[in-house]
Amino acid sequence: MLKVGLTGGIGSGKSTVSDLFAKLGVPIVDADVIARQLVQPGQSALQQLCKAFGNEILNLDGSLNRPMLRQLAFSNSIHKQRLDAIMHPLIFEQIETQVSKVQSVYCILAIPLLLESAKKYAVDRVLVVDCHQQTQLQRVLERDQVGQAQVTAIIASQVDRQLRLAAADDVIDNDGTRADLAEQVKNLHNSYLLLATARTTSA
């Protein structure tokens, strides 16, 4: 099975691209979805986070206060390292488990920190969703209702845009319209089907 690693900076449009692939019938293994499942009340990951950062990262109902954890993580590099050390191995394990259950010629692994993670994911192609940094900034400010300084800090903590593009096998330009985006996804989908079929035939 062909495994395509989908990544990109915050606000680049990874989720939109992932949804477009899903509408074409492509199985999606999403690291963000896995991360949210891992920190549900009662899960061991949430207990580890509370032990590391204190109960102030919890809402009154016992659920994770994501904005609070994000603020802690991106205001202090040690906190960020501690968060990654807890979450990344658990996410990696779940991704491997979900991929092993996929029955398809190819699948998408949506992993925001594909290039940043110390864990190296076994993907056959790297697909980067790209847009200008100002576009990223504006999208996140509108979507997450957070301060510009925090968004800038998150962008700075991620792989440099040029390095990300250099690591890509395929690039989707998300500075255009939704129709442009859908067309790029459709073209890549057809390309991946051909690649995956060729791999299966030659195996």
- Residue closest to 71 by CA, chosen among 5, 151, 2: 151
End-to-end CA distance of the chain: 11
- Residue closest to 3 by CA, chosen among 93, 123, 169: 123
Domains of the chain: 1-27+105-198 (3.40.50.300), 33-101 (no CATH)
pLDDT range class, residue 136, cuts 50, 70, 90: confident
| Higher per-residue pLDDT: 196 or 150 | 196
- Residue closest to 7 by CA, chosen among 154, 180, 172, 119: 172
- pLDDT given for residue 118 in this prediction: 60
pLDDT range class, residue 33, cuts 50, 70, 90: very high
What number of residues does the chain have? Answer: 203
- pLDDT given for residue 188 in this prediction: 98
Cα 188 to Cα 2, 131, 169, 201: the distances in Å are 13, 18, 11, 20
- pLDDT given for residue 48 in this prediction: 94
Q: Which two tokens stand for residue 36?
A: 């949210």
Residue-wise pLDDT tens digits, 57-106: 999 999 999 988 988 888 888 988 899 899 999 999 999 999 999 999 99
